Amino acid sequence: MRMLKESEDAMGQSFWDRHTGKNHDGHVIEREDGFVDIDHMVSYFLEYRDWSSEEKKAMRFCRGRVLDVGCGAGKHAIRIQGKGMDVLGIDNSPLALKVCRERGLKRTKCMAADEVDARLGQFDTIIMMGNNFGLFENPAKARRMLEAFHGATSARARILAQTMDTYATKKGEHLDYQAYNRKRGRMSGQIKLRIRYKKLATPWFDYLIVSRSEMKAILKGTGWKVSKFIGKGASYIAVIEKSKR
């Protein structure tokens, strides 16, 4: 998804209001079938001591120059920077990046995840935390982006990507939507949604939630493979390493 206009930057405005202490009850996640949920933003601003054990473990796999794709409010990038690593945070939300800079992140760039290529520089670690494997949107686009990531990374590079098993639910509204997706030839967890906050709304976009086996299938033939899964529950983080094509 391209850089957001001011009228579309719902999530960035939500971050900004939370960061500046304004009245804030969270933003709305609206799915195309009419399902809505409230994101109260707590996880985006947690101190390291309050992170999940999976997140803490994943950060140990960061090395060299780091690219944080979809950095949000900067939680992970700021932690990595504090450990002495060179990190660049990218996001398509100008206000989110303003929050990052005010919180101390030194290097940011406003751009979409699918704009990453070798012109951005060479990185040793790419992180896609906060379920940001979803930024791949669909299997075909994932493979194109993984090819671009391959060219923008060193021979020893790795990707740390967080998502959740889309099938780990018993809720009818989610199971019905998964069935609706399959009927249309989409993956079960290929969600179309938008973010709403006050009078702002992002454009509709796809967000890809996958099981562990689905992730492995998407990576096949891309020059990347899963070396390790962190977390045994519905939410998990994949350590993805370069491999032979």
Q: In order of start, what are the domains of the chain with their CATH numbers?
A: 6-18+26-242 (3.40.50.150)
pLDDT at 76 over 70: yes
pLDDT at position 201 over 90: yes
Cα 58 from Cα 100, distance rounded (Å): 21
Q: Is 245 a residue whose pLDDT tops 70? A: no
pLDDT of residue 107: 98
7-22: per-residue pLDDT in tens? Answer: 999 999 999 999 999 8
- Token pair recorded at residue 47: 């101190």
Is pLDDT at 51 greater than 90 in this prediction? yes
Residue 105 identity (one-letter amino acid): L
Mutual angle of helices 212-219 and 139-151, in 10-degree steps? 60
